[in-house]
Amino acid sequence: MAEKRNEERRLSRRDFLKNTGILAGSAALGAGFLVGCSQPTDKEAAVPANGGEKWDHEADVVVIGLGGAGASAAIEAHDNGAKVLVLEKQAEENHFTNTRMSGGVFHNPDPSGDRAARVEYIKAMMCGKNIPWKLEGEQPHVSDEMAEMFADGIMEVEKFLMAQAPELDPAGMAPGGDASFPMFPKFAEAKYGRTVRCRYIDYQKADSNLKPYEQPKLTKSSGEAFHWALVEEGIKSKRPEIEILYKTPAKRLIQADNGEIIGV
Ligand SMILES: Cc1cc2nc3c(=O)[nH]c(=O)nc-3n(C[C@H](O)[C@H](O)[C@H](O)COP(=O)(O)OP(=O)(O)OC[C@H]3O[C@@H](n4cnc5c(N)ncnc54)[C@H](O)[C@@H]3O)c2cc1C
């Protein structure tokens, strides 16, 4: 069964490559996703996204976008044995994400809080029913499973960041604020209130004449510290085998006849 599935995958990959007119031989072997130039739409044909350069890559996991979410996904996939390729539409020297420009403040609930209460509080955050002016209602098909995952994942964020960048400042990551919705159900039982800000040591000594992204590493804080820990340290320094293609916007997903997504 697995062999048949692999063969189907190989065939569909070959078809994909044949259609693109790119070298088929080596890229058709192995299991994973493909990235390459596919048939351009009329609009793309008029203005080739990459200046007409042809290329193809194969990986087990293709991550689209190198913000905090993409960087974390790439690190996790890599550490679980996957060959990972990241596509990022911005240039490396001008890579400014929401993550990088954010306050870098994240929830860090007290570990002695009740997990079931944490799930309920997170579900409340995922719907609008506790906020009178919001129209969204609960979506259990999304929020139940997501809240369970989130309830465990949220407890790992600080540890995950510190593992990428040990020079982050644990003192600076101490509780510094309150979560936004203390009126939501189970907030108190979940002990969800703590928020912390990401920062490297020597934070106070940052040169205020420099822009955040110009600060030396150890004076970085907020989203800039978050970005640095994940992208510069977690990926580029610690996991250089994760390939990042900058100036590479993903245009659309490529699907096999059976609906399986086989490329981008
Ligand atoms: C000023 C500001 C302050 C904030 N403060 C906080 C805060 O303190 N705490 C908090 O929790 N949240 C905060 N947020 C929100 C938070 O920053 C975002 O929700 C979070 O960073 C989103 O992360 P992301 O990885 O999903 O997206 P991003 O960080 O935006 O990364 C997306 C990446 O994908 C790339 N990309 C997009 N489309 C494509 C494509 N087609 N192909 C290839 N690449 C692509 C982009 O270039 C970018 O690099 C703040 C946001 C802003 C703007």
Mean pLDDT of 137-161: 88
| Most confident of the ranges 13-27, 37-51, 133-147 | 133-147
Q: How many helices (H) and strands (E) does the chain have?
A: 9, 10
Residue 4 pLDDT > 70: no
pLDDT-derived band at 203 (thresholds 50, 70, 90) equals confident
Pocket perturbation via mutation, ligand 1, pick of 75, 95, 101, 102 by most ligand atoms within 8 A of CB: 102
pLDDT score for 50: 53
Rounded CA separation 33/14 (Å) = 12
Quote the tokens at residue 242. 């994760």
Q: How many A from CA of 154 to the centre of ligand 1?
A: 18
Q: Establish whether residue 249 lines the binding site of ligand 1, counting it when its CB lies within 6 angstroms of any ligand atom.
A: yes
Q: Which residue has the tokens 């692999």?
A: 6
Contact 79, 242 (CB under 8 A): no
Evaluate the CA torsion angle 201, 204, 210, 212 in order and state its sign.
positive
Rounded CA separation 227/102 (Å) = 10
pLDDT score for 200: 92
For 88-101, the pLDDT digits (tens) are 999 999 999 999 99
Q: Residue 46 — φ and ψ, nearest 5°?
A: -65, -40
Q: Give the strand pairing for 56-59 and 33-36.
A: antiparallel
